[in-house]
Amino acid sequence: MSSANSLAVEDLGSAAQRDRRKRILDATIALASQGGFDAVQMRAVAEQADVALGTLYRYFPSKIHLLVSALQREFERTEVALRDKPIEGDTTAERVITVLKRTTRGMQSDPKLTEALTRAFMFADASVQAEIHQVGMLLTSMLTRVMRPEGHDEVTDEDIAIAKVIGDVWLSALVGWVTGRNSAAETGQQIEVAVKLLLRD
Amino acid sequence: MSSANSLAVEDLGSAAQRDRRKRILDATIALASQGGFDAVQMRAVAEQADVALGTLYRYFPSKIHLLVSALQREFERTEVALRDKPIEGDTTAERVITVLKRTTRGMQSDPKLTEALTRAFMFADASVQAEIHQVGMLLTSMLTRVMRPEGHDEVTDEDIAIAKVIGDVWLSALVGWVTGRNSAAETGQQIEVAVKLLLRD
DNA sequence: TCTAAAATCGGAACACGTTCCAGTTTGCCC
DNA sequence: GGGCAAACTGGAACGTGTTCCGATTTTAGA
């Protein structure tokens, strides 16, 4: 444990290590953004991040871990950016749809990157459980916050259940779009229909 | 076109070709059932099906195509088996939950096979669109039939929308289970909650 | 039955994820 | 500053999906 704070959930190590980790994730995002999942080749990432292949594997034990970690970082950024934006819309359904569509549009503006990250997410097995869980929680909390803005009613179990279902649909829609089975418009439709069904009150 | 019926959607070719195709899919299922996605190795499939590697690729242009085609065959079997079983349950929600849980249980009884097929399904890109679409239609029609048993009301657009959302949740749940993030019980729960939310009338 | 085209075979070859290793550098403690 | 353990480097090596090719077999048509 190199940090003085032994309770920290994430121990990022020395400054040099943090820097390497950042360079690796930056290279990952850059390559993914440019060429998608297939372009994120471990040798290429290592070269672009200026580390040896073995070092890359020391930081991230597989390509999937690497991409899911990148996803996590991006998602945290998105969530923070969204956190202090006012949420327009009167009804719950309207607000949720607005936020989801905005987020989806953001992802669709960088299709290759989205493809790479989504694919990795879908392919991740139990060994990536921690990172995946993190992302799932982030999404659910993002949705419940939109559903029950500050000051309003308590977040109920049903709210959480609904948020999870919406998350599932969003994921399916995203996969459909990423794999070229649905258009962007269809993806938006799919989410909108689900939200309206789930939040009709 | 080797068939006299030029309108046939599927042209399966000569008897020898049908036989090879069947042997390949049988080998795929056997290997998947025994060792999951990773065990379905193209050389192993070719050997077990007693065809050359090049021939395997002539029939199925990639491992993903191969597995999705296997999924399609299995799913058709399941759907036919389900078709003439009486659907117990009074309310729509009950019937849907019963059927989905039964199907899910069936898949969970062969975890490795389910893992292999689900992974392939999630990873499939646009080049497998046809097969994927086929499977999606099968699932949706299965669900709407359960929702609106023969003789009852017409199947509405809303029914179809609901069926699609349920399908999305089912897929997400399945992926969660397959990748070891959810237990079998949680998977059942997840589906039940979604169905109850969507079919509360 | 004969022949040309298509299909199949056996196997080499290539790409990329992953592992491994010997040598070098870095960071830390005395 | 010296010594030691951990981290890093460069690169070889291996497994599996995929491609390719020359030789052989099967199929279909005249």
Q: What share of chain B is helix, strand, coil (3-state, %, to 5)?
A: 75, 0, 25
Closest to B194 (Cβ–Cβ): which among A124, A132, A165?
Answer: A165
Look at residue A12 in the predicted model and tell me its pLDDT: 61
Q: What is the nearest CA distance from A36 to chain B, expressed in angstroms?
A: 13
The pTM for the full model equals: 0.90
DSSP readout, B46-62? HHHHT--HHHHHHH-SS
A43 contacts A53 by C-beta, under 8 angstroms = yes
In whole angstroms, give the CA distance from residue A85 to residue A158: 25
Q: What is the nearest CA distance from A195 to chain B, expressed in angstroms?
A: 10
B107 contacts B174 by C-beta, under 8 angstroms = yes
pLDDT (tens digit per residue) in A124-145: 988 998 889 989 999 998 899 8
- Residue A88: pLDDT band by 50, 70, 90 thresholds? confident
Angle (CA) A49 A51 A55, round 5°: 125
DSSP state of A179: T
B179 contacts A125 by C-beta, under 8 angstroms = yes
Look at residue A8 in the predicted model and tell me its pLDDT: 41
- Residue A11: pLDDT band by 50, 70, 90 thresholds? low
Residue A16, CB, strand C, below 7 Å: yes
Q: Tell me if ipTM is over 0.85.
A: yes
Count A/B contacts: CB-CB distance under 8 Å: 76
Look at residue A87 in the predicted model and tell me its pLDDT: 81
Contacts of A169 in chain B (CB under 8 A): 165, 168-169
Look at residue A43 in the predicted model and tell me its pLDDT: 98
Half-sphere exposure of B97 (CA within 13 A, CB side): 20
**Two tokens at B147?**
């929702």
Highest mean pLDDT (candidates A34-48, A90-104, B141-155, B168-182): A34-48
A19, pLDDT greater than 50: yes
Look at residue B10 in the predicted model and tell me its pLDDT: 59
Residues of chain B with pLDDT under 50: 1-9
In whole angstroms, give the CA distance from residue A124 to residue B176: 10
